[in-house]
Structure 1
Amino acid sequence: MTEGKGFDPKSTYIHLAHSGAREIAVDERFWPDLISGQTRYPGRLVMSFPMTEDFAHWERHPEGEEVIVMLSGAMDVILDEPGGNRTVRLDSGQAMLVPRNIWHRGVVVEPGEALFVTEGEGTDHRPITEDERRA
């Protein structure tokens, strides 16, 4: 690990547990193991992603809210709320709090990078329908 040194938050995430923080190296098994529940990270995960493509799915976090910070570029965050979909535009330097248990997805308006602080357990995914892609 790179403790005490600089690192790339796209390939090394931070796990903010109740007992402290630690680095998590990310490989090809990270997301499948996390989504299946095989690996658990109670607390929060901090990560950065290049935002060059729309989210490939909807996601929700039943265990807690998610913070999204646009570091550069722009993204529309679509929230599937009980009264219907709502879109929040995030431009470079803006942030939002995604409510707990609300399905959401991102649509890239201008490629850039985003920082996420999300619950480390219980994330759900569902596919995006063709009608939703066209909307």
Structure 2
Amino acid sequence: MTSKIAQFTIDSTYLVLGENGDSTPIPVSDRFFADLENKFGDFKGKRLVSHFTFTEDWDTWEMHPAGEEFVCLLWGQVDLILEQDGAENRICLSTPGAYVLIPRGIWHTVKVDRPSSMLFITPGQGTQNQARRQ
């Protein structure tokens, strides 16, 4: 017997991809990240598929030691800023569908040039954040 297939929207339900090929939809709420930790622990071997809309620059830098992060512009325009070899490398994303694979362990942030919508596939284990340096 086949199970019923449900429809979701990336705005209200993110997706956790498991290392064994399983996928788990997770409803977005104000407790989303706490719910992730409760359900998946340290997130080892998992990736989060998420969607965010931005109208302002990020106020933090982030870094993912467990793998590359896929960052795709759906609409708008942003500058993705990567800290590499002691310098900032800016990559302008202005074409819908343009994406970048941010290497493992690279600090990055976003400057919003126009309100934007972005899709992320993030290896969440060990993710680090720090205040954005102005």
TM score, norm. by length of structure 1: 0.83
2:85 maps to which of 70, 82, 85: 82
Corresponding letter in the other structure for 1:31: F
Question: In the alignment, does 2:30 pair up with 1:22?
Answer: no
Question: In the alignment, does 2:65 pair up with 1:62?
Answer: yes
1:99 maps to which of 96, 103, 108: 103
Q: Kindly report structure 1 stretches of 4+ aligned residues shifted beyond 6 Å.
A: none
Supply the distance in 2 between the matched residues of 1:34 and 1:24 (Cα, whole angstroms): 8
Supply the distance in 2 between the matched residues of 1:34 and 1:80 (Cα, whole angstroms): 28
Supply the distance in 2 between the matched residues of 1:8 and 1:73 (Cα, whole angstroms): 20
* Aligned-pair Cα RMSD in Å: 2.0
Secondary structure, in 3 states, of the residue corresponding to 2:33?
Answer: helix
Which deviations, in whole Å up to 9, do the C-alpha atoms of 1:72-129 show, x marking residues without a partner?
Answer: 0011000011141110001122101111100000111111210000102111000013
Count of paired positions:
126
Q: Which runs of 5+ in 2 are unaligned?
A: none
Identity between Structure 1 and Structure 2 (%): 37
